Chains A and B, each alone.
Chain A
Amino acid sequence: AQSVTQPDIHITVSEGASLELRCNYSYGATPYLFWYVQSPGQGLQLLLKYFSGDTLVQGIKGFEAEFKRSQSSFNLRKPSVHWSDAAEYFCAVVSQTGANNLFFGTGTRLTVIP
């Protein structure tokens, strides 16, 4: 069965520092993978997605993620974090059952310090 693991519950970085949020998936075939961001009190906003093709995908707000099949990972990166990036980040994979529903990881809360 499909699943997503986000090993880091909470990460704190300084503004301007680089960021990497980890995501590992379990999936029987080539997965469709997503990163969503949730600001406090807000809904989920799509940052980027991977369906196929180039394993390095670019998203909004300067984020990118790399799909590594050998490591079953889809880590999210940003070279220089801004204070406005403080939020909860969720990795998700599409269900294998065909209904296209998403399975989410438990999320990583990002704190940015000045």
Chain B
Amino acid sequence: EPEVTQTPSHQVTQMGQEVILRCVPISNHLYFYWYRQILGQKVEFLVSFYNNEISEKSEIFDDQFSVERPDGSNFTLKIRSTKLEDSAMYFCASSGGITDTQYFGPGTRLTVL
């Protein structure tokens, strides 16, 4: 069964450093998402991406964040200058259509020291 994959599974970084989280969505999916879950809190939407552009973003997704689909398979989330409060689990998701089920990856745990 196709699945969404994410790398790395765990990333530790120093405050102020740039990080790139990588996702490989399900191959025939067209809609891509990033969510995050701070420890002990609910899953929060960050950004959605379709047709090589952002379709929606939350207030969390400020200028420090960016997304890119650099090739036909990868979907990345970049945090330019990490803050302590960026420590969270980051989930990538993809879906085949605008109302289709979103399939989630296993997540990347980001720890900012």
- Chain B window 73-113, contacts with chain A (Cβ cutoff 8 Å), 1 for yes, 0 for no: 00000000000000000010101001101111111000000
**How many residues of chain A get a CB closer than 8 Å to chain B's CBs?**
25
Chain B: CB-nearest residue to A99 = B56
- Whether a CB of chain A sits under 8 angstroms from the CB of B41 is yes
User: What A residues does B55 contact at CB under 8 A?
Assistant: 99
Query: Would you call the interface of chain B mostly helix, strand, loop, or mixed?
Result: strand
Instruction: Name which of A11-19, A21-29, A67-75, A103-111 contacts chain B.
Output: A103-111
| CB-based contact A100/B99 at 8 Å | yes
Contact of B48 with A100 in the complex, beta carbons under 8 Å? yes
Q: Which residue numbers of B lie inside 8 Å of A, CB to CB? A: 4, 31, 33, 35, 41-45, 48, 55-56, 58, 91, 93, 95, 98-99, 101-107
List 16 additional contacts besides A44-B104, A101-B48; criterion CB under 8 Å.
A32-B99, A36-B104, A42-B107, A44-B43, A44-B93, A46-B101, A46-B102, A46-B103, A49-B101, A95-B45, A95-B56, A98-B56, A101-B58, A102-B45, A106-B41, A107-B42
